[in-house]
């Protein structure tokens, strides 16, 4: 029986990554390990469209664009960073090119998530991402198709992570793949974002998934951290005022044997539920 720690070339993993760093931050070690075991890995980056703002940008768009310092089209730079990171680990990439939450608007043209508080609040019902994401995920699952899907648990309550996991959960019964939830780093480490801390137990309690036992996978910390450093534009925001390497070593280290691990949570599914 295949497990995340014992993959083969006959397996195929799809990792649902809301943003251009989520897969590597949360599962970069597994990606590197799977590729070494000749298991193909595809990272599906979802909210990766170029900047699209009509009229005056929201306060949050202004803040983040100034912080990133990447010019008028920051997502091209971010896609390049992601490509460099995943090339190190050996994964394939597919781009969803949906709009990030900070750019999405409602029927009236107003920004749906104009502040940080809004981004870490529940998604609104008329968010266009719900429909777009379901169509996108269906196309990926048909085209790839994976034997294993890794999906965010939505630790941190970021609206893009919540929409991703919920949209997939609502239609997951159509697909035969095994599903695991990953612990969304940096949110799962409990220090980011500073004003809206979260943790894994709280996210498990909120989740609509029926979550089973966790699986710890021993990983190569150095390989993962080297890949993370390719996201140069994001490091200061992800680890505000902190030492990224020290924080990740603390979070990923095992008290039992000193090894570094990534933790995934198996979703309980009935066999008759799968297509």
251: domain range?
13-273
DSSP for 101-145, written as a single string:
GGG-B-TTS-BS--SHHHHTSPPPTT-THHHHHHHHHHHHHHHS-
pLDDT higher than 90, residue 87:
yes
pTM of this structure: 0.95
Which pLDDT tens digit goes with each residue over 40-85?
Answer: 999 999 999 998 777 889 989 988 888 888 887 899 999 999 999 9
Residue 133 included in any domain: yes
CATH at residue 214: 3.40.50.10320
Counted domains in the chain: 1
> Does some domain include residue 6?
no
Burial of 73 per CB tally in 10 Å (0-12, 13-18, 19+): exposed
Q: Please report whether residue 116 resides in a domain.
A: yes
The first and second tokens of residue 275, run together, are: 């297509």
CA separation for the pair 181, 90 (Å, rounded)? 21
Cis peptide bond upstream of 153, omega within 30: no
| Closest alpha carbon to 173 in 251, 49, 275 | 275
Structure tokens at 214: 């966790």
With respect to residue 160, please indicate whether it lies within any of the assigned structural domains.
yes
Tokens 């909120």 identify what position? 206
pLDDT band at 271 (very low <50, low <70, confident <90, very high): low
In this structure, is residue 47 part of a structural domain?
A: yes
In a domain, 7, yes or no: no
């Amino acid at each position: 029986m295949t497990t995340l720690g014992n993959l083969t070339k006959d397996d195929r993993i799809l990792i649902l990554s809301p943003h251009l760093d989520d897969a590597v931050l949360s599962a970069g070690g597994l990606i590197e390990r799977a590729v070494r075991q000749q298991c193909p890995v595809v990272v599906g980056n979802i909210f990766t469209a170029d900047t699209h703002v009509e009229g005056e940008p929201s306060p949050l768009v202004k803040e983040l664009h100034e912080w990133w310092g990447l010019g008028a089209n920051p997502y091209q730079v971010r896609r390049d960073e992601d490509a460099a990171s995943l090339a190190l680990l050996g994964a394939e990439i597919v781009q969803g090119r949906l709009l990030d939450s900070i750019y999405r608007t409602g029927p009236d043209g107003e920004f749906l998530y104009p502040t940080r508080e809004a981004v870490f609040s529940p998604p609104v019902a008329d968010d266009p991402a719900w429909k777009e994401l379901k169509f996108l995920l269906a196309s990926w699952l048909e085209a790839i198709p994976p034997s294993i899907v890794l999906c965010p648990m939505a630790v941190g309550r970021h609206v893009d992570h919540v929409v991703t996991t919920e949209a997939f959960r609502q239609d997951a019964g159509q697909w035969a793949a095994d599903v695991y939830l990953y612990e969304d780093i940096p949110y799962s480490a409990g220090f980011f974002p500073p004003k809206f801390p979260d943790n894994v137990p709280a996210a498990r309690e909120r989740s609509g998934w029926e979550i089973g036992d966790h699986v710890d996978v021993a990983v190569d910390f150095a390989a993962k951290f080297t890949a993370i450093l390719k996201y140069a534009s994001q490091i200061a925001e992800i680890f505000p005022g902190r030492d990224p390497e020290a924080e990740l070593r603390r979070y990923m280290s095992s008290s039992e044997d000193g090894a570094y691990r990534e933790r995934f949570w198996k979703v309980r599914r009935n066999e008759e539920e799968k297509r």
